[in-house]
Structure 1
Amino acid sequence: MELRASEPMAKHVTWRAGGRVAKACFPHDLEDLAHFLAGLRCDEPLLMVGLGSNLLIRDGGFDGTAIFTHGALKALRLTADGSIYVEAGVAAPKLARFAATHGFAGAEFLAGIPGTIGGALAMNAGCYGSEIWQFVDRVCMLNRKGETIERTPADFALGYRHCGLKQASDEIFAAAWLRFPAGDAAVARARIRELLARRVATQPLQLPNAGSVFRNPPGDHAARLIEAAGLKGLELGGARVSEKHANFIVNPGGVASASAIESLIGRIQAEVQEKFGVTLVREVRILGARC
């Protein structure tokens, strides 16, 4: 594996902003990661990083170890029992294409998720009416001793953009076995193209962003509330509410600090609360120390 000290996170998160992590681990594979975890102090703060979407490290940095899974936990294969085995570092769109190519239906929505399977499992990611845990047969977890543990969905409390073990644990997602119904490969590929075209048309993908900033409130959409509050185009310290999709904050030119992005998030929450009495809940994770 590769280990680095004082690693700048701005180059690893899709917002292109933020502070440093004290230590960064780039494992070679799952076995390498298990060995690394077994040698860590049990109280070492850990941060799992996939493609860096949905994440912001404050400008004061994260005093712990970040483990980068993309490019390391990359196994993706069909199993003898008809499920798909996928490790946590595999990009969600890659799994969508793999499932379509092998004649499965239902995985197409994953093409619209700009992150890895590990992150998707951890937050029960979804879009276009589907969520990943609908298709989970079982998962492989790693604990801080480097031991692997297989768990089923019954071990987790699942909800909208939420997944947590029913009993407190230090385990992290390493892999999953997913089951999708049989389908037509050509139809699935066409559906993926359709969803990707919709994403390009409706989201500011050409600018640094972290995907949807807020969860949708029950019976409503965060983007509608933000737009109705007159906040489209609102800018603070280089961070801006996207004119294309109000639930996205963009960082044109990568000039905004993590502090500016977090302040803009807070401003949006305050304005929507004041105007509509709705509390917007962040979907993005914000970690680390303020400067």
Structure 2
Amino acid sequence: MTSLPLSPVPSAPSVAPASAAEPRARFRDLVASEWLRLRSLRSTGWALLLSALVVVAFNVGTAWDHSRYWHQYDAEARAGFLRSGMALSDAFTANASMVLAVCAGAMGAMAVVGDHAGGLARTVFAAVPARSSLMAAKVLVVAAVQTVFGAVAAGTSFWLTQAVLSGRGAGLPLSHPGALRIVVASALLAPVCALSGMALGALLRRAAASVLASVAVLLILPMMLGERRYVTAVLAHGTPVHAWRRLAWQGPFEPPFPWTQGGAWTVYALWAVGAAAVTVAAVRRRDQ
């Protein structure tokens, strides 16, 4: 009895692992994706432009006021204006710093909340399971954009205000002692506040609540903390706006409880690093 030849059994098709079919996204790809998403929103450009215009307008308006009524000052007042370097106070005013802090904080919060408002966060996290890397890329992009925004606002303000005051012989160059420090401190205030807004947005996940919280933390709280008592002075020194005031101060710094420029720069760094860490860590235990 002869046996019939057996037909070969077809082997099951091999299934390539998902990791081989779709390589893991590189961090630079995530950064490029976040930059593309941020740039594609028309509201981003308009918000940056309008915020910069308002900030510059506050500073130029103050310098124009001093220039316009220069003839009403007596000789002693004019000499005091020149001697104390008041032109640098016009380069970036306290009102402009508060406007910059609020605008940057709100834009930072909306950079995070915008993904959750329309449910886009679920899709993004499904496509990129590495949530921490994705949020780190978002933090890097927002920080870079806000740094450029702050540099443009601070640099333009300095150039225009000193040009206005130069008509009265009161303008100062960037090489004047303290001038560069004011420009850099004003420029870096934007990314510090934006990162703080991102942290609040990552924690609250609601647009209105996040924006209001950023205003409360960055503006209202520093206004409530005075420097006449030790405890409130120490708490005030730990806020970005008060750190900016310390760096922008002209002349001898003689409050009841003085502190150093190095301490103010440290406050900047701690707020930026701490806010970035909170933003990245907040997505690890959330469903979206």
Under TM normalisation by the shorter chain, which class is it? Answer: under 0.3
Larger Rg: 2
* Greater percentage in helix: 2
Report the TM-score, using the length of structure 1 for normalisation: 0.25
* Greater percentage in strand: 1
Higher relative contact order (CA 8 A, sep 6+): 2
